[in-house]
Amino acid sequence: MKLVAGVDGCKAGWFVVIANANTGEITDFQRVNKLADLFQYSHKLSIIAVDVPIGLLSDAKSGGRNCDVLARKLLGHPRSSSVFSPPVRGALNHPENYSDANFANRKSSIDGIGISKQCFGIFPKIIEADALVDPELQNVIKEIHPEVCFWKMGGDSSPVFSKRSSSGRKERLNLLSGVGFKGISDVFGNYRRSEVQLDDIIDAAAACWTATRIFKGHATRLPEIPEKDTSGLFMENWV
**With contact defined as beta carbons under 8 Å apart, do 227 and 64 qualify?**
no
CA distance 57 to 235: 8
**With contact defined as beta carbons under 8 Å apart, do 17 and 5 qualify?**
yes
CA distance 53 to 61: 16
**With contact defined as beta carbons under 8 Å apart, do 39 and 132 qualify?**
no
Find the mean pLDDT for residues 66-82. Answer: 97
Q: Comparing C-alpha atoms, which of 158, 133, 160 is closest to residue 147?
A: 158
Enumerate the H helices of 24-132 as residue ranges.
Answer: 66-75, 98-107, 117-121, 123-132
> What DSSP character marks residue 117?
H
pLDDT at 42: 60
1 or 223, which is more confident:
223
Give the Cβ contact number of residue 122 at 10 Å: 18
Structure confidence by residue, pLDDT tens digits, 92-140 = 999 999 999 999 999 999 999 999 999 999 999 999 999 999 999 999 9
